[in-house]
Structure 1
Amino acid sequence: MMYLSMIFFQIVAPILVLMAVGVFLQRKFTFNLKTMSQLITYCFMPAAVFVSIYETSVNKEVLGQITIFIVLFIGSQMLLSSLLAKVMGLNRLEGAVFKNSVVLINSGNYGIPVAQMIFVTQPIGVAIQVILVIFQNMTTYTYGLYNLISSTKSGMAIVRDFLKMPIVHALILGAMLNMLNVPIPQMIRIPLDYIAGGFVAVALLILGMQLSQIQVRTMFNRLIIVSCFTRLVLGPAVALGIIYMLGLDGVVAQSLLIASAFPTSRNSSSLALEYDIESDTAAQTVLFSTVVSCITVTFVIYAATMLFPI
């Protein structure tokens, strides 16, 4: 019960409050959601990802273990979601949103706060979450973006649209400057930090704006329920198997298992809105998985501490 109340009031509740503010603002002022989504995609997202990648530093051995786990875990989620999409007979648009809802995880504004609460005396636990954020960003704007674009386009059109995304440039530039240890002038760094700092709030407000036009009863459909079950229940089960297979233990095992249980990333909804592909369904999935996760994540945290004691 203690974990449940901590997670809900310190992580989930603030997220829901921001989305509720977005609902109120949209109903009062009726913003152009397409324009608001472009503000996220072309301004806030690139800045947030660039700063995250530029600032991250981690031990090479731990990075190697995490990389192997992530490749196996994300690969398994891609295969599982593709299989389920075929079994359910989803069309290309629905299938793209469904696969993204399973594979793309909210490791940022949900995962890092959880890690900070749990691993107060184990900084490596938080560092692992930061690494996962970077990998999730890369997955979002490669696999996730390809899913959506390929559902409506093919061939070189996919490549051209992908290369136009500023987030791709931010990923590459941030990694290069990090590796070369290149300092950023304060006149550039300060505005970058301001924009990056506003990303979570603006993204959640826009998600709330999307949700303001959605009927709650439509959330209870097969696609959303299966997505939620796959992301929050099957995901951690698969992760546990991979952890045992790799022989991981202690803080690394705890952190990775807990990270596998986080809800669907809000970025899956932002991208769906940007490309106008089942954006309502994507937003509903984010909301549903976020609310349900306040229960499921609690149980996974408990299981992680019992199975992999420090």
Structure 2
Amino acid sequence: MSIFLHILWNNVLPLSVMIAAGIILQRAFSLDIKTLSKLNFYLFSPALMFRLLYETPISLDIFGTVMLFALIFMLLQYGAVEIVIRLKGYDGGMRGAMRNSVLFYNSANYGIPLNQLAFAGNPYTLSIQVLIMMLQSLIPNTYGIYSVNAHKADWRAIRRVILSMPIIYVIPLAFVMRWLEVPVPEFIYTPINYTADAFIGTALITLGVQLGSMSWRISGRLAYDVGLSALLRLVGGPVIAWGLTLILGIDGLTAAALIVSSAVPTSLSSVLLAVEFDNEKEFASQAVFVSTLASIITVTFVIFLLNIQI
């Protein structure tokens, strides 16, 4: 019960309050969600990614282990969701929306606090979560953009959009500057900190604005699709991660951190992509909302099975 209350009070309820604020603001003022999504993609997310990679100590050994795990994990998840897509006969933008709702998970504003809570602020497990967050920032800004546009745009247009995303340049820059121990001038780093701190709030409000702008009458088909997405993300994710750690011989804190990182709900990136590129916005928003609510139970159960002491 104490684990449940900790996660509910420190992770889920704060997220829910911010989402509710976005819903209220949208109903009151009809905000421009396109502007909000651009702020997240081009400003707040890159700033947060740079700060985390620049400040967090990451060894080469753990870097290699996490990268190998994450690559195979992504492929296995892709295979699982592709089976569902084929069986359900999805077409057009729904194929990309379903993939994104499962493959992209909330490793930042849910995963980072959850890691800090579950592992009592352990810097080793935090470095694992930061690497996962790095990939979960990079992939939506590359493959994710391709996925939601592949059915309606040519490759040249998609490539131009991908190359315009700051995150693909911020990640190598942060690594190089940390490796070479290049100091960031205070007059630059202070604005980076201000901007990074704004990411979580703005992303959650964006989700709330999207939820506030759509109809709350959910068709039976859409409810079923959202349920499938949540099942693949919240149950399939940690089950695949657990099996993969056994196959790769990863154990101890490393395995626990990787499994916990895989158990978090659908990423806000799937909503931001859906809004930015006008692709299944209602499904994407509801997938994030439902998986976040359901994660109260599923994440608690994963931590309980791992016997992590909080």
Instruction: Tell me which interval the TM-score lies in, with the shorter structure as reference length.
Output: over 0.9
1:170 to 2:137 alignment = no
Does the Cα contact within 8 Å between 1:122 and 1:251 map onto a contact in 2?
no
- Corresponding residue to 2:266 among 260, 264, 267: 264
2:153 corresponding residue in structure 1: 153
* Separation in structure 2 between the aligned mates of residue 170 and residue 63 of structure 1, nearest angstrom: 18
Please report how far the alpha carbon of residue 271 of structure 1 lies from its aligned counterpart in structure 2 after TM superposition: 1.5
- Any idea what the Cα deviations from partners look like across 1:200-244, whole Å, max 9, x if unmatched? 101111110110123444176222111000000111111111011
CA-atom RMSD, angstroms?
A: 1.7
TM-score, reference length from structure 1: 0.94
Shift of 1:196: 0.8
Does structure 2 retain, via aligned residues, the 8 Å contact 1:105–1:264? yes
Percent identity at matched positions? 36
In structure 1, C-alpha distance between the alignment counterparts of 2:226 and 2:18, rounded to whole Å: 22
Please state if 1:71 is matched with 2:71: yes
Structure 1 SS opposite 2:213: coil
Give the match's secondary structure for 1:221: helix
- Alignment partner, residue 222 of structure 1: 224
Tell me, yes or no, if the aligned pair for 1:56 and 1:131 is still in contact at 8 Å.
Answer: no
Paired with 1:94 and 1:69, the residues of 2 have a C-alpha distance of 28
AA at the equivalent of 1:269? V
- 296-305 vs 172-181, which deviates more? 172-181
1:233 partnered with 2:238: no
Q: Which residue of 2 aligns with 1:99?
A: 99
Cα separation, partners in 2 of 1:187 and 1:214, compared to 1, 3 Å? same
Over residues 7-41 of structure 1, what are the superposed CA-to-partner deviations in whole Å (9 max), with x where a residue is unaligned?
Answer: 11110000000010111111111111112222222
Code of the residue aligned with 1:71 in structure 2: it is L
CA distance, structure 2, for counterparts of residue 272 and residue 131 of structure 1: 25
The one-letter code sitting in structure 1 at the alignment partner of 2:298 is: T
Unaligned runs of 5+ in 1: none
SS at match of 2:225: helix
Residue 50 of structure 1: how far off its partner (Å): 2.2
Mapped partners of 1:139, 1:280: distance in 2: 22
- Indicate whether 1:208 and 2:208 are aligned: yes
Aligned counterpart, 1:292:
294
* 2:255 is equivalent to residue 253 of structure 1: yes
The alpha carbon displacement at 1:127 in A equals 2.1
List alignment gaps of at least 5 residues for structure 2. none
How far apart, CA to CA, are the structure 2 residues paired with 1:54 and 1:280?
36
Q: Structure 1 residues 253-262 or 35-44, which shifts more?
A: 35-44
| Runs (4+) off by over 3 Å | none
Q: For the Cα contact (< 8 Å) 1:101–1:227, is it kept in 2?
A: yes
Equivalent residue for 1:133?
Answer: 133
Q: 1:169: how far off?
A: 2.5
Instruction: Report matched runs for 1:101-120 at 5 Å.
Output: 101-120=101-120
Q: Distance in 2 between matches of 1:198 and 1:264?
A: 20
**Cα distance change, pair 121–283 in 1 and its aligned pair in 2 (3 A):** closer
Q: Are 2:100 and 2:270, in contact at CA under 8 Å, matched by a contact in 1?
A: yes
Q: 1:143, 1:78 → 2: CA distance? A: 12
Residue equivalent to 1:244: 246
Supply the distance in 2 between the matched residues of 1:238 and 1:127 (Cα, whole angstroms). 21
The total of aligned residue pairs comes to 307
The normalised TM-score by structure 2 is: 0.94
Partner SS for 1:218: coil
Indicate the SS of the match to 1:106. Answer: coil
Letter in 1 for 2:257: S
What SS does structure 1 have at the residue aligned with 2:278? coil
